[in-house]
Structure 1
Amino acid sequence: MKNNNMWSLKLNTAALVLIPAAVGINYIGKLFAGALKLPLWLDSIGTILAACMAGPIVGALCGAINNIIYGFTLDPVSFIYAVSQIGIGICAGVLAWNGAMKGIVKAIISGIIIAIVSALISTPINIALYGGQTGNLWGDALFAACIANNLPLWLASGLDELIVDIPDKIAVVLIVCGIYNTLPKKLIILYRNDQEIEKLD
């Protein structure tokens, strides 16, 4: 999806309307995962979908607004993690704009890349706020095992984050690709600054 206006700050009306919808999807995803106690976050579906449809700037805005709302309604610490969501939105937008999410294999690889970006941003925050843990049962169990085996804190914390982020982001990207591919091409064009649109199939 080549687009010379990928970093344009001139957002059209359709892109602006997409932002609150994407934030709502994120919010519902997080509540769903929490209610079912899933070992996933599912809080970036809207961010990545918006990034695929309208580019990295819109993706970053969705991520930031998403965590600001979380901060006011669920957990004040979410404000700090807004930088992670911004990184997710930018990374997903760049990948999608360059056709890196076409097909299942590329989508999985994109999910892993987004997970690594998210982990690189979140790990220092986890260390500063929670001693390196994420609050996820699976991740924190691995963290405890790593610390017990005298691995460095940064490595234990990074693995803690990755063990959740990788399956989460792969699942989210696959969900997004499934949604994106059902949308009419004419609809996708509304969110772009040019007409060079290509499906993620």
Structure 2
Amino acid sequence: MMKSNNPFRYHLTTATLVLIPAGVAINYIGKLFVSVLKLPLWLDSIGTCLSACLAGPVVGAIVGVMNNFLYGMTVDPISTIYALTNAALGITVGLMAYYGRMQKVGGAIVTGLLAGLAAVCVSTPLNLIFWGGTTGNLWGDLVFAWSLAQGSPLWFASFLDELVVDLPDKLVVVLLVLSLYKHLPRTLLSLYQSNRVIESLD
């Protein structure tokens, strides 16, 4: 299969239509897992990132948005607001994968950092608009309270709140995705959009 010159080009093949609900399910399970165990991370975007690597940034964004709407309608309405964050995450990881930055651990770390920053930049204004700057994550909100106590501006405290959770979360998620990706059978990978990441995995 020839590599498309447009990273946002995608095809709704049978394989892609199967991938989308599978990615949403992976996200959903990760989110529930974290909620039950009260972990300091989100882990709700593994399916988004894996889908983005397999089928491109558009499919990754679709999975992210669908995940947040589904979780928002069934468990936590707050999640719906952050559909934009998961979309930005899918696009970021999809673009990095398309340009071959998910071949090795070093590239995955850079991808995770960029994905984390993208999530922070989208989520921080939402946190300020809807929740006074907090994230609802215990660890992040402790940093938020500490930052305000030090006299930091509200926006900066909110930024730090999101940063201390999203950055490590996206690093962990992207590294998990890289590990999963490397162990997927090549016959499965060949069903999706061809890119340098797929071609480089042995």
Q: Describe the SS at the equivalent of 1:198.
A: helix
Structure 1 pair 195/60, CA: closer, same or farther in 2 (3 Å)? closer
| Gap change, CA 1:34 and 1:199, over 3 Å in 2 | farther
Matched letter for residue 42 of structure 2: W
Question: Conserved in 1, the CA contact under 8 Å of 2:10 and 2:55?
Answer: no
1:76-120 per-residue CA deviation (whole Å, 9 max, x = no partner) reads 122211000100000010011111122112211211110000000
1:45-88 CA-to-partner distances (Å, cap 9, x unmatched) read 00000000000010000001001101110111222110001000
Kindly provide the amino acid, as one letter, of the partner of residue 50 in structure 2.
Answer: L
Are the equivalent residues in 2 in contact too, given 1:70–1:76 (CA < 8 A)?
A: yes
CA contact (8 A) 1:100 1:106 kept: yes
Q: Measure, in 1, the Cα distance between the counterparts of 2:5 and 2:17.
A: 20
* Distance in 1, Cα, partners of 2:80 & 2:43: 17
Which consecutive aligned stretches of 4+ in structure 1 deviate over 6 angstroms post-superposition?
none
Alpha carbons 2:52, 2:58 under 8 Å: kept = yes
Partners of 1:102 and 1:152 in 2: CA distance: 39
Matched ranges for 1:1-201 at <5 A: 3-192=4-193, 194=194, 197-199=198-200
TM score, norm. by length of structure 2: 0.94
Secondary structure of the 2:78 match is helix
Cα distance change of structure 1 residues 97 and 129 upon mapping to structure 2, 3 Å threshold: same
> Per the alignment, in what secondary structure is the counterpart of residue 43 of structure 1?
coil
TM-score by length of structure 1 reads 0.94
Shift of 1:195: 7.3
| Residue pair 1:110, 1:173 contacting (<8 A) in 2 also | yes
Deviation by residue 1:166-193 (Cα, 9 ceiling, x = unmatched)? 111011001100100001222112011x
Q: How many residues align?
A: 200
Residue identity (%): 54
> What is the RMSD computed on CA atoms of the aligned residues?
1.7
The one-character-per-residue Cα deviations of 1:11-43 (angstroms, maximum 9, x if unpaired) are: 211011100000000000011111111100000
Aligned-partner residue type, residue 168 of structure 1: D
- Once the two structures are overlaid, the 10-residue window that deviates more, 22-31 or 72-81, is 72-81
Q: 1:75 to 1:181 in 2, by over 3 A?
A: same
